[in-house]
Amino acid sequence: MHRLRILGMLAWRNLWRNHRRTFIMLGAVSIGAWAMIFMTALTQGMVNEMIRDGISALPGHVQVHHPDYRDDPNIANLLPASDAEIAATFAPAGFNAWSSRIKVPAVVTSEHDSRGVTLLGIDPASERGMIFVDYDEVEGRFLESAEDSGVVIGQKLAKTLETGVGKRIVLMSQDPDNDVADRGFRVVGLFHANVEAFEETYVFAGKKTIQTMLRVGDHVTEIVVLGDDYRDVEADYAHVLELVDGNVEVLRWTELDTYLGTMLAVMDGFVLIWVIVIFLALSFGLVNTLVMAVFERVREIGLMLALGMKPGNILGQILIESMLLLVIGLGIGNLLAWLTIKPLESGIDISIVAEGMAMMGASSMLYPQLRMEDVVLANVVVLILGFLASLSPAWRASRYEPIEAITKVD
């Protein structure tokens, strides 16, 4: 420990022999660390927003369906248990949130136009906070109960149909006997979604009202369960499996939307690749700085070796010097990242590229996310790679012959 302290003091003093070179290298490391963390936070924010929007459209982290429902989302593929039986099973299970619903393809018609949509028969009390609609921001009002006779559509769909709050539309779908089931509804609300495509796709109505319209009694097409963290749904998945029998299909959100699931995995890999790429650029400057520092001290190193300092101590001194440089630079970079990301966490308006973001399933607001895991990963990777990059000049310094080093001519 005493020897390590002495080597640390020598390394610290040697680090500041050439202030200009040290400050230049510190600036490079700091900017590199800031770039790693800042760009990772922006990308994480975009991906997380896409995943949250996608999950809110599913919605939920775990879903239960009839085994044939995903291949054929027909109202005939209902869950075998009644809605009352489902409630008796899931209500006391302790999930963060859960709901049962009717979800079927339908056609909505106004006096001006018609469109194919996804009809969602929901209980608004159990869906609050799960779906992508903010009840309080709906123009007009949202559904008040599962028996509500009104309908809520997206603002973009309303423009397409040339309709609005208070006007009537007709919804058509099929009942279990493949007969047309239709009903007139009054539009009671227009919702806004972060992803504009959702405004054209989804129509909300009361669950009981849709069950009556489709003549399915007290049955639903799906159960959705929301956990605490979309990155870790295994506990909720296992719990749902315990509550249902083998006649239904239970899937995680990553299986329901493989695009989003793959994107999450790719993003986690991208963070590591991004950090390595940035460090490779930094490593040239780091190695050059250390080589120059060693070259300037050849005679001094030779003298220390001649006086009895072991080559291992020379190696350790150079490595400590490198680590000190990286630690200080990373500390400054981390601070800069925190100072620049925190003010932006309330959201960055990127509506200028809204159409392109919508094609990717992302909203026009970007919320950078500074995750401790990403910060730790960036710092650890830089320190490990920095240590490896420093081995070459440090090893070279420790291999000098004392006489040759002392008599070396500049």
Beta pairing partners, 64: 223, 250
In this prediction, what percent of the chain has a pLDDT beyond 70?
A: 88
Mean pLDDT, residues 36-52 taken together: 80
Higher pLDDT, 204 or 60: 204
Is the pLDDT reported for residue 360 higher than 70?
A: no
Instruction: List Cα–Cα distances, 391 to 208, 237, 296, 314, in angstroms.
Output: 71, 47, 18, 11
3-class state of residue 390 by DSSP: helix
Q: Place 28 in a pLDDT band, splitting at 50, 70 and 90.
A: confident
Q: What is the pLDDT of residues 97-156, one digit of tens each?
A: 899 999 999 999 998 899 999 999 999 999 988 888 889 899 999 999 999 999 999 999
In the prediction, which pLDDT does 405 show? 58
Is the pLDDT reported for residue 361 higher than 60?
A: no
**In the structure encoding, which two tokens stand for residue 33, read together?**
């660390």
3-class state of residue 91 by DSSP: helix
| Range of weakest confidence among 167-176, 265-274, 315-324, 351-360 | 351-360
Q: What is the pLDDT of residues 285-309, one digit of tens each?
A: 667 766 666 666 667 667 777 767 7
Is the pLDDT reported for residue 87 higher than 60?
A: yes
Mean pLDDT, residues 77-88 taken together: 92
What's the mean pLDDT when you consider all of the chain? Answer: 83
Q: What is the pLDDT of residues 159-201, one digit of tens each?
A: 999 999 999 999 999 999 889 999 999 999 999 887 778 899 9
In the prediction, which pLDDT does 358 show? 54
Beta pairing partners, 105: 118
Is the pLDDT reported for residue 335 higher than 60?
A: yes
Beta pairing partners, 190: 139, 153
Element (H, E) at 378: helix 372-398
| Range of weakest confidence among 145-154, 199-208, 263-272 | 263-272
- Sorted by sequence, the CB contacts under 8 Å of residue 186 that are 6+ apart come out as 149, 150, 151, 166, 167, 168
